[in-house]
Amino acid sequence: MKGYLQVYTGNGKGKTTAGLGLALRGAGAGLQVFVGQFLKQGNYSEIKALSRFENITVEQFGMGKFVKGAPSKKEIAAARAGYARLCEILTANKHDLVIVDEGNVAVTCNLISEGELLDLIDRKPDDVELVITGRGALASVVHRADLVTEMQDIKHYFQQGVAARKGIEK
């Protein structure tokens, strides 16, 4: 099966959710799935659910908080380790679906470079589906993608002060 490059970007809600939905679909079809999450750290509801699948592996490469301003040395180190791990995963070619969650944001926050994200794309074996999520997808990433979905923020209850809810946003 030929693998494609999918990008989920934009300011609206649902980029990670779309990627993880694809992980569930892939797992249900017997695919080997790897989810690498930049910036994130923690046992969120989706991590608990995905851990029930033998053929889904999730690894987090973050400190569990938003990067504000210049990233800390710990945040950079976590992202560097994540980048190296994703290189290993793609080179080993043992997964059918690889999801780089918040890959676009990792570039925007200067945790990895544009060149490194493009390098991950270049490492993608022909039969691997690669998904990159996160706001602010660069034109170079969009250009290489086979599918790009932009989530548009039209209305969100967060603007009325509704906090992230367990099982819905976290």
Q: Is 88 exposed, middle or buried (0-12, 13-18, 19+ CB in 10 A)?
A: exposed
Q: Does some domain include residue 166?
A: no
**For residue 167, is it within any domain?**
no
For the chain, the first-to-last Cα distance in angstroms comes to 33
**CB environment 136-148: b (16+ within 10 A), e (fewer):** ebbeebeebbeeb
Q: Over the stretch 9-36, which tens digit does the pLDDT of each residue have?
A: 999 999 999 999 999 999 999 999 999 9
Asked whether residue 121 is domain-assigned, the answer is: yes
Q: Which residues of the chain have pLDDT under 50?
A: none
The CA angle 107-114-46, to the nearest 5 degrees, is: 40
pLDDT of residue 44: 86
pLDDT of residue 159: 81
What is the DSSP-derived secondary structure letter of residue 158? G
Which CATH number belongs to the domain containing residue 153 in this structure?
A: 3.40.50.300
Length of the chain: 170
Distance CA(67)–CA(39), nearest Å, equals 8
- The number of distinct structural domains making up the chain is 1
Domain holding 11, by residue range, is: 5-160
